[in-house]
Amino acid sequence: MAKDEERSSTHVELIPATPDQQPILANLLELYIHDFSEFHKLELGPDGRFGYKNLPLYWLEPHRHPFLLTLNGKLAGFTLVKRGSEISGNETVWDMAEFFILRQHRRHGVGTAAAREVWKRFPGQWEVRVMESNRAASHFWQHAIREFVGKPIQPAHIEKNERHWHLFSFESRRIA
């Protein structure tokens, strides 16, 4: 099947995660953090897991939003969205706190479709941050944001807490 045919036959859905689905998100976070450990030194806990201490906050704080991503009805990833920037300190922007697509679904338009659904759901100012060392993610976000806003967005280069980031800033407009 050609890539264009594959993209047209896929249905990506953004599903708000319920508290009962927290273990599913925790499992997916382990895969995500494992992938991320290629770019940043991360240590396993004594239980053999990386863990994600802020996950419970996504059901306790109203400015946090957990989502499962499905592709044709099957689990394909997740995203965690929150209000407030980790980099600029701007409390009013939307932040793509975490975003993960299973490897088998990458480079097929799934991530771009999922990101577009997130941005449409939360109109307003956005910041998407990616570690400079994660070149594949930087290319992905440049492409996905350009597709969404209709023009290239050049990232700012930021250093914070001894880490180097690309920070994409753009606006998602409410769709009538």
The more confidently predicted of residues 59 and 32 is 59
- The pTM of the full predicted model, rounded to 2 decimals, is 0.86
Residues 124, 120: Cα–Cα separation, whole Å:
9
Of 171, 100, 86, the C-alpha closest to 129 is 86
Domains, the chain, with CATH or none: 3-125 (3.40.630.30)
Give the model's pLDDT for residue 34. 81
The more confidently predicted of residues 160 and 61 is 61
Partnered with residue 169 across adjacent β-strands are 127
Q: Is the pLDDT of residue 11 over 80?
A: yes
Give the model's pLDDT for residue 7. 44
Give the model's pLDDT for residue 93. 94
Looking at the chain, the whole-number percentage of residues with pLDDT higher than 90 is 50
For the stretch 37-89, pLDDT in tens is: 776 677 777 786 778 889 999 999 999 999 999 999 899 999 999 999 888 78
Residues 18, 14: Cα–Cα separation, whole Å:
13
Give the model's pLDDT for residue 5. 39
Classify burial at 60, counting beta carbons within 10 Å of its beta carbon; exposed 0-12, middle 13-18, buried 19 or more: exposed
